[in-house]
Structure 1
Amino acid sequence: MHKHIFLRIVEGVTTEDDGFFTQKPDAIGRIGASALQKCTTVIRMLAYGSSSDAVDEYLKIASSTARECLLHFVEGVARFGPEYLRKANANDIERLLHEDGPRGFPGMMRSIDYMHWNWKNCPRG
């Protein structure tokens, strides 16, 4: 994911949220996880399909906090719906076809089955 897209998501989730993603001190005065840590946790969980306790070693966030991050993140991302979660229009389809033709996927929008392509990183390839 590009950095500017990630930062836009973080900004969108933190500005309109109920304050969950803001960094604040805990009961003994230690500063908690930042919004960047929390959003990175969620994106890693979604991208790799990992559980909430799998990100503890990498990002130093407890399993319960990671689960809460996921719940608040999903609600925050839903606010981007009108802009990104919509049906593709003619301009979007043309842009996708133009970008993915040289990459080896001509006619990408007509077929979602690419099992006949040989993938170098596929374990069954």
Structure 2
Amino acid sequence: MFNLQVAQNEMEEEEDKKRRRRDDEARMARASHSRRVIQVVAHRPSRSANTDRSRQRRGKDLLDDYFVRNNAFPDTYFRRRFRMERHLFNKIMIAVCNHDSYFVQKNDAFGVMSLIPEQKIIVALRMLGYGAFADQVDEIAKMEKSTILKSLMRFCSVIEFIYTTEYFWRPAQMDLQRLLKKGEM
């Protein structure tokens, strides 16, 4: 009788183990199904790898071409390319950098130096002066499209803030007459 009871207990334990195993397998199947559903629903396309744009080299080249003492191009090239004198560009750059820290060069999260102020401002001036698209300027400045557009938007808002009171006024009657006459010609 004792052996019968031991055998019955062993059978119950075996059935209990089988039931637990089946429950665990069902739970794992449900979990894996849920995981698959979440992966499908919440699937985001993976980010593409960052493109090495050699931004530090392009910034150095830009400084060597236009802004150092023995630059590669004379002042006439600067005026033709950027539609202003170099001293005016420097005045604007200093005012913009003093007003908005976005244009000041600093280290990023990885300790890499960011773009120089000249790069960000030149991009904005190119787009405004020539009506260029961000993709066209990207080839010249070696900057990402989002950075180009952000530079343009921030540059425009800073310029508007700094120079509105100084240069924005209602035209006098004489100015209005002169502009109308010029428009008729």
Question: Normalising to structure 1: TM-score of the pair?
Answer: 0.68
Could you say which residue in structure 2 is the equivalent of 1:64? 146
Q: Which amino acid aligns with 2:183?
A: I
Could you say which residue in structure 2 is the equivalent of 1:3? 86
State how far apart, in whole Å, the 2-side matches of 1:38 and 1:113 are: 39
Gaps of 5+ in 1: 94-106, 115-125
Which has the larger helix fraction?
Answer: 2
Aligned partner (choices 127, 149, 168) of residue 85 of structure 1: 168
Asked if residue 28 in structure 1 is aligned to residue 114 in structure 2, the reply is no
- Alpha-carbon displacement from aligned partner over 1:69-115 (angstroms, at most 9, x marks no partner): 0111011101211112234569xx6xxxxxxxxxxxxx96322245x
Report percent identity of matched pairs.
31
State how far apart, in whole Å, the 1-side matches of 2:170 and 2:86 are: 25
Q: Which amino acid aligns with 1:82?
A: T
Aligned residues: 99
How far 1:56 moved relative to its partner?
1.3
State how far apart, in whole Å, the 2-side matches of 1:27 and 1:52 are: 25
State how far apart, in whole Å, the 1-side matches of 2:184 and 2:150 are: 35
State how far apart, in whole Å, the 1-side matches of 2:141 and 2:123 are: 7
Q: Which amino acid aligns with 1:15?
A: N
Asked if residue 111 in structure 1 is aligned to residue 182 in structure 2, the reply is yes
Q: Which runs of 4+ in 1 moved over 4 A?
A: none
Aligned partner (choices 51, 55, 67) of residue 133 of structure 2: 51
After superposition, the CA RMSD in angstroms is 2.2
How far 1:55 moved relative to its partner?
1.0
State how far apart, in whole Å, the 1-side matches of 2:170 and 2:87 are: 23
- Alpha-carbon displacement from aligned partner over 1:16-56 (angstroms, at most 9, x marks no partner): 11x11010122322211111110000000111111112111
Larger Rg: 2
State how far apart, in whole Å, the 1-side matches of 2:184 and 2:119 are: 36
State how far apart, in whole Å, the 1-side matches of 2:111 and 2:103 are: 17
Question: Normalising to structure 2: TM-score of the pair?
Answer: 0.48
Q: Which amino acid aligns with 2:150?
A: E
CA distance 1:113–1:28, shift in 2 (3 Å) = farther
